[in-house]
Amino acid sequence: MRQSDPLNLAPILAPEQLDKQVEILQQQLNDLQNELNLLRHRDETLNFYLNRMDEELRLAARLQQDFLPKSLPSIGRVRFHTVYRPAGYVSGDLYDVTRLDEQHVGFYMADAVGHGMPAALLTMFIKNALVMKEITADGYRLLDPATSMRRLNEVLVNQQLSHATFATAVYGLINTETLQVKLAKGGHPNPILFRGNGEVANVEAEGSLLGIFADETFPSVELQMIPGDRLFIFTDGVELAFSNGPKGVDVLRWREELYTRGNLTTEQLLSGFTSRLDEDQGSLTPKDDITMIVIEALEN
């Protein structure tokens, strides 16, 4: 019986067999090199488009910032304060505070479904479609918020946008001399009125989501502010800002954060509130855009 080779030597190939093996290995090496070059090219192409998309989103974010008020009116005893925090580059929230005449300031806030570029485009459309006053033969007249909201809804409905494209909004006027506020809203969270004496009340108004139902009405509500009062208008992103561990999101907790700071100045209150947002785990990865307007009636 023949014993096995103790050195386990491979058989010696003939020259033509060796050349064939080298040719096969060289072909495999060339294929791998071509595949590597293809992957490298795809990676470079992907990086190019990702960088271009990132730059376009940054430009869109700067453009959206240009749609925000550069400064807030300061008239008589009325002051305005804002918080604006997009969840991404651009926001599905948009707001404005603008002086309409010597006695009136208009304010509005819109929140498109979702966030990101589609929502941002819708809110900018809403900004241009919202009419606060109209020119007449005798000068101008301020539109009642109910009329402004109804017309805005009509414009959105007539655009025949996607059924998944809708928004909430609130629009109001404040008389800076009398401190009377009139507002209307559609599908938006109820504003909160912090009285100077510590009382807190919801400002309830009816009205469905914008852009869905034709001939929808948005009745105006009126409230009388007095010196020391603060009116908070906000998007639902504020309600979702705080997480509550394994139990999910507590939509009331943000109010507690405000209530505990009720004795502070508005600047201090908002500074403390936003700092608490930064500290909270849920706000580090925002679930939604966060926007707030605070209208403050100063003491005499």
The pLDDT tens digits for 42-100 are: 888 888 777 777 777 777 778 777 778 888 988 889 999 999 988 788 888 899 999 99
Question: Highest-confidence range of 60-69, 113-122, 132-141, by mean pLDDT?
Answer: 132-141
As a whole-number percent, the residues of the chain with pLDDT over 90 amount to 41
Q: CA-based angle 120:43:40, to the nearest 5?
A: 170
What domain range includes position 49? 14-66
Judgement on whether residues 46 and 120 belong to the same structural domain of the protein:
no
- Compute the distance between CA of residue 269 and CA of residue 264 in angstroms, rounded to an integer: 6
Q: 62 and 79 share a domain?
A: no
pLDDT surpassing 90 at residue 198: no
Residue 3, domain member (yes or no): no
Residue 211 DSSP SS3: coil
User: In the listed set 31, 51, 66, which residue is the last one of a domain according to the structure?
Assistant: 66
Q: Which of 49-58, 174-183, 234-243, 268-277 has the lowest mean pLDDT?
A: 49-58
What pTM did the predictor assign?
Answer: 0.80
Q: Are residues 100 and 149 in the same domain?
A: yes
The CATH number linked to 253 is 3.60.40.10
The more confidently predicted of residues 44 and 154 is: 154
- Flag whether 129 is in a domain: yes
Query: In which region does residue 142 sit, left (phi positive, over 0), alpha (psi from -120 to 50) or beta (all else)?
Result: beta
211 and 127 both lie in a single domain: yes
The C-alpha angle 133, 221, 268, rounded to 5 degrees, equals 90
If we measure between CA atoms, which residue out of 217, 189, 192, 210 comes closest to residue 202?
Answer: 192
Residue 4 counted as domain residue: no
Pairing of strands 290-297, 180-186: unpaired
Query: 146 and 38, same structural domain?
Result: no
Per-residue confidence (pLDDT) for residue 243, from 0 to 100: 60
**Residues 18-27: tens digit of each pLDDT:** 778 878 888 8
Q: What is the mean pLDDT of residues 217-242?
A: 91
Residue at 2 is within a domain:
no
When pLDDT is averaged across residues 218-237 and rounded to a whole number, the result is 95
Count up the domains in the chain and report the number: 2
Tokens of 270: 């908002």
